[in-house]
Structure 1
Amino acid sequence: MAKESASAKFSIVHPQAAGIDVGSRFHWVSVGQEAGESKQFGVFTKDLHALCQWLVSLGIRTVAMESTGFYWKQLFVMLQSYGMEVYLVNASFTKNIQGRKPSDLSDSQWIWKMHSVGLLPASFQPDSFTEELRTYVRHRNRLIEGAAQCVNRMQKCLTLMNLQLPIVVSDISGKSGKAIIEAILNGERDGSKLAQLADYRLKADKATLSEALTGFWRADHLFELDQHWKMYHHYQEHLAQCDQKIEEVLQSRVQVTGQAELAYDQKKSRGKNDPSFQLATYAYQLSDGVDLLQVDGVGLNLILTLLSEVGLDLTQFPSAKHFTSWLCLCPNKKVSGGKVLSSSTRKNKSRLRKAFKQTAIGVCRKKDCVLAHFYRKMAAKHGKGTAITATARKIAVIVYHMLQKKEAYQPQQLEDYQQKVRTQKIKQIQRTIRNLEVHEHELVFA
């Protein structure tokens, strides 16, 4: 008797679904695999309206589309405006299939098929306020990077003329560095006179400064220095305008939500690239009175990144584990045959993940801090890289619970933490003694 072939059947989760393969010049849309169920549309506004109207005429309710570059954004918004539920999916979820010939048409049909049976999870998408703020903040970060490049090139110009200002001044974009560079560009060449322009708080003495500012003056390097100096100030002007725009957006949001009555009187020193406005006050008001600056190492940079990337409402993440998993800060265990093959974290270029890791690096420099002791313990056991990731995850969990539970940060006392670590080590030693069957007379205490 011939053996009957078994076929696997999937239940349809989204019966009225469509799949879109997004491109830079055209989009392929599929609502099935039969003839006439796939169609190509352009990328102009009228083409996007025609695409949405075609889907509405077919009764489509849910649409899945790949996150291809930034070409999906306008189509995503327009599909939502037509009342459809849009799933933005990771492209890696649809391409890791062998034996399928890739093409724009087949990709759209494959996306439709996987979305129909519910195999494509939707990626996180912020609300309109967070997305607007994200645009400004990411532009602000690019301005800071541009200004930093100008500073590096100014250092190069000075070094090529053997003006060793970067050696005696830690930051040439500070008060002393700016005064000296401006005097050089105005024609001053005497090292002793340039040294007198330094601020009194500078550690280097005037004689050392005078020697460092004596070099070989060249017209080509002076011209390049002048150009980068002007570009640096150009970036600073645009950075101030960007900060003003971000403040307007935050202030408008606070007024709309009615949280302007919350007063925030705590003060924290402002960093070099921190916003020029009172960001801590706006974050305190938008989070209903939660002060994230109480957490060790947390600064305005992390708060601004958190506001612009996911917002302060983390209800889309059911638990802190979901939040840290989305940030790729938790171990990604791969188990086969009962053995753990790998437990390293997933690779990710998330700006928020980077901000949490930078915060962890700042925490490790502290002394009397539980998070700093946790970092040192992890670094001694697993190395600095793993310790930074583990500390960043712990900070992310603290921030999540503070925002979700609307409670203040209550750190564990350092003495209690040290006693807990001591108790754990004693239990580990006792367990080792039992496993090795060590007798009492074999124990020697130095």
Structure 2
Amino acid sequence: MYLGIDIHKRYAQVAVMDDAGELVEEVRVENANLDDLAQRYAGADAAIEATSNYYHIHDTLSEHLDVTVAHPQKLNVIADTDKKTDRVDAKELARMVRLNSVPESYVPTDEIREARALVRGRQKLVENRTEYANKIHGLLSDHGITRNVKPLSVTGREFLAELSLPVPWDELLASYLELIETLTAEIKRLDAAIEERAGSLAETQLLMTIPGVSYYSALLIYAELGGIDRFDGAKEVVSYVGLNPVIRESGDSRFEGSISKRGSGRVRWILVQCAQTAVHTCDDEYLSRFYDRLAGKKGSQKAIVATARKLLVSMYHMLDREEVYDPPGVSA
């Protein structure tokens, strides 16, 4: 039997096909009861889509079924139907798993999931804190206060705490400041957990031998890339992160454009930050030499993106070979 399981927040639509491609059963099941269905079809092949809540469902089903997780974007490209309903999607998944044509998505290990939860959780807290800082800037602007105040700095918050605004904006300001203080404390608490986690993993310890790579950036890169052995080479990692240039060819002409920006924006962002630090703060000889040569030809922005790509290639080889940072042409 072949099961196509279209997952939603509280329920899943299931289509079951036999070897001949005939539909055996269609049923809607509460997610909490999927284990019973999996036991009934134990040993069968199944496909689910990589939705936001698929980890737990994948683990539950995998105890009884051979589960393939489908990549959502690739699935939309190759699915041969224009109709999008739960029943149609479930049947399409069943058809594809029967034909062994499911575009697979990476399923991270528990260790990777935990690392992702930490770094993504911290990122969300930082985004929330920035949102309240922006609200304070807007509030000050509305009252004609043009002084450059940084609500995320201690001195900035001290100034704002003493600021006198009319009712009810004074209450809003006090509320925003309290939320920023709370979020800052929570970010520091997560930082401690992230530092401890990064220090305990062999992969992140290797990455931290690179000048400019901190425990946070190392854990983020490790978490978002996942197991390095799932990539066939450095080019595949670069493409996965979206740092590969878009190439267009027409006749005898070949044009290399900007980067594709596919994949994880988190990794692209942190790699650029690491490259900036390595070149402008740590004076890393290997990366600085590459950056300086390129900046003179293409400008600083393109040069730093290319440097981030070079840094990622180095990271891939380090993790693949289990070696510390030791770039060619640089004396120890």
Is residue 87 from structure 1 mapped to residue 73 from structure 2 by the alignment? no
Query: Residue deviations 1:113-156, cap 9 Å, x none?
Result: 33333333421221112212322332221111111222222233
Q: Name 1:224's counterpart in structure 2.
A: 172
In the alignment, is the contact (CA less than 8 A) between 1:301 and 1:355 conserved in 2? no
Q: Name 2:273's counterpart in structure 1.
A: 358
Relative to 1, partners in 2 of residues 1:173 and 1:91: Cα closer, same or farther, differing over 3 Å?
closer
In the alignment, is the contact (CA less than 8 A) between 1:357 and 1:392 conserved in 2? yes
In the alignment, is the contact (CA less than 8 A) between 1:361 and 1:388 conserved in 2? yes
Q: Name 1:19's counterpart in structure 2.
A: 4
Deviation at 1:45, TM superposition (A): 0.7
Separation of aligned partners in 1, 2:48 and 2:330: 50
Higher RCO, Cα 8 Å, sep 6+: 2
Unaligned runs of 5+ in 1: 1-15, 190-216, 244-274, 416-446
Is residue 330 from structure 1 mapped to residue 244 from structure 2 by the alignment? yes
Deviation at 1:287, TM superposition (A): 1.0
Indicate the structure with greater helix content. Answer: 2
Separation of aligned partners in 1, 2:77 and 2:187: 42
Report 1:81-160 matches (<5 A): 81-82=63-64, 84-96=65-77, 100-102=81-83, 103-160=85-142
Larger Rg: 1
| Percent of aligned positions that are identical | 23
Deviates more, 1:384-393 or 1:394-403: 384-393
Tell me the TM-score normalized by structure 2.
0.81
Amino acid aligned to 1:66 = E
Tell me the TM-score normalized by structure 1.
0.63
Deviation at 1:276, TM superposition (A): 4.0
Q: Name 1:401's counterpart in structure 2.
A: 317
Q: Name 1:53's counterpart in structure 2.
A: 39
Deviation at 1:384, TM superposition (A): 5.2
Is residue 37 from structure 1 mapped to residue 24 from structure 2 by the alignment? yes
Query: Residue deviations 1:359-403, cap 9 Å, x none?
Result: 234445356643234234444545555434322221111122222
Q: Name 1:247's counterpart in structure 2.
A: none
Query: The residue matched to 1:219 in structure 2 has which SS?
Result: coil
Question: Which one of 283, 289, 294 corresponds to residue 198 of structure 2?
Answer: 283
In the alignment, is the contact (CA less than 8 A) between 2:49 and 2:70 conserved in 1? yes
| Paired positions, count | 326
Relative to 1, partners in 2 of residues 1:121 and 1:363: Cα closer, same or farther, differing over 3 Å?
same
Query: Residue deviations 1:385-426, cap 9 Å, x none?
Result: 5434322221111122222323221234579xxxxxxxxxxx
Q: Name 1:372's counterpart in structure 2.
A: 288
Deviation at 1:336, TM superposition (A): 6.7
In the alignment, is the contact (CA less than 8 A) between 2:47 and 2:68 conserved in 1? yes
Separation of aligned partners in 2, 1:289 and 1:132: 14
Is residue 308 from structure 1 mapped to residue 223 from structure 2 by the alignment? yes
Amino acid aligned to 1:375 = Y
Is residue 181 from structure 1 mapped to residue 160 from structure 2 by the alignment? yes
Amino acid aligned to 1:100 = T
Amino acid aligned to 2:305 = T
Q: Over aligned residue pairs, what C-alpha RMSD do you find? A: 3.3
Q: Name 1:66's counterpart in structure 2.
A: 49
Relative to 1, partners in 2 of residues 1:165 and 1:304: Cα closer, same or farther, differing over 3 Å?
farther
Amino acid aligned to 2:237 = F
Indicate the structure with greater strand content. Answer: 2
Separation of aligned partners in 1, 2:16 and 2:294: 51
Separation of aligned partners in 1, 2:181 and 2:307: 37
Unaligned runs of 5+ in 2: none
Relative to 1, partners in 2 of residues 1:365 and 1:45: Cα closer, same or farther, differing over 3 Å?
same
